[in-house]
Amino acid sequence: MSQDTLKLLVSQAAADYVLAHTPAGAVIGIGTGSTVNYFIDVLAERKVFGSRFSGAVSSSNASTSRLQMHGIEVFELNQIETLPVYIDGADEINPHGQMIKGGGGALTREKIIAMVAKTFICIADVSKRVDTLGHFALPVEVMPIARSALSRKLLALGGMPVLRTTSNSTPYLTDNGNQIIDVQHLNITDPLTLEAEINSWPGVVTVGLFAKRPANLCLLASAAGIETIQYA
């Protein structure tokens, strides 16, 4: 079974779950990435917006565009007081629901929406499940002025910092106008401490470790079917 098929299957399962567990009229949180793109398309196909849900908040310009292309209303997070659910993908997820995110560059808005949401549902294919985080390079969104200084600090931490670039070899810029350092070769045995440490450095906007605010639930697709994992 291809990875794309798994992404579609997990998105259909996530739509079933969200429809069964989310109050009518709610605004729901939508993340970013190729798995979430399938999820947006599934929700649009089922015509749940405007009827069952009032709209969405989105973690990136790309997801906002896709939602709007389907005619789905996208609210600013500042307009919303409560968010019952946030659905997003992950680059890695460990047995505690802690994740590396930001492969798609939307880590800061993802973390903000995850903070507001009551329930964070991670949707992923089985390739994202790991015992220890860090095989996937850890994204750190930084203010451009701090890039070199922060790269040295990340190197001292034992990682290999690489500035994310576009296909034109220019620095990749996030929706917030910042840059991303991808830190390779980390073996993250204490995600909570590492998240707090990197977040404490001036110039760091967000580290793509979701340890303090892990997922509440993960729907994981494999050839065997969809596994629903609930975290404590």
Q: Which of 153, 144, 60, 131 is nearest to 102 (CA)?
A: 60
Q: How far apart are CA 55 and CA 26, in angstroms?
A: 7
Choose, by CB under 6 A, the member of 55, 103, 161, 214 that binds ligand 5RP.
103
Choose, by CB under 6 A, the member of 106, 138, 180, 215 that binds ligand 5RP.
106
Looking only at residues 32 through 71 of this chain, which bind ligand 5RP when binding is defined by CB under 6 A?
Answer: 32-35
Q: Rule CB under 6 A: say whether 107 interacts with ligand 5RP.
A: yes
Q: Rule CB under 6 A: say whether 174 interacts with ligand 5RP.
A: no
Q: For the residues of 156-194, what is the DSSP string, one character each?
A: HTT-EEEE-B-TTSSBP--TTS-EEEEEES--BS-HHHH
Q: How far apart are CA 36 and CA 29, in angstroms?
A: 11
| Choice between 31 and 134, CB closer to ligand 5RP | 31
Q: Which stretch binds ligand 5RP (CB under 6 A): 104-112, 144-152, 185-193, 218-226?
A: 104-112
Active site residues: 110
Contact criterion met (CB below 8 Å) for 219 and 14? yes
| Choice between 91 and 195, CB closer to ligand 5RP | 91
| Choice between 148 and 226, CB closer to ligand 5RP | 226
Q: For the residues of 99-113, what is the DSSP string, one character each?
A: EE--TTS-HHHHHHH
Q: Which of 44, 24, 10, 208 is nearest to 125 (CA)?
A: 10
Q: Rule CB under 6 A: say whether 31 interacts with ligand 5RP.
A: yes
| Choice between 12 and 32, CB closer to ligand 5RP | 32
Q: Which stretch binds ligand 5RP (CB under 6 A): 103-111, 112-120, 167-175, 216-224?
A: 103-111
Looking only at residues 207 through 226 of this chain, which bind ligand 5RP when binding is defined by CB under 6 A?
Answer: none
CB of 107 to ligand 5RP, least distance (A): 5
Contact criterion met (CB below 8 Å) for 121 and 66? no
Phi, psi for residue 3 in degrees, rounded to 5: -65, -35
**Binding interface with ligand 5RP (CB under 6 A):** 31-35, 88-91, 101-107, 110
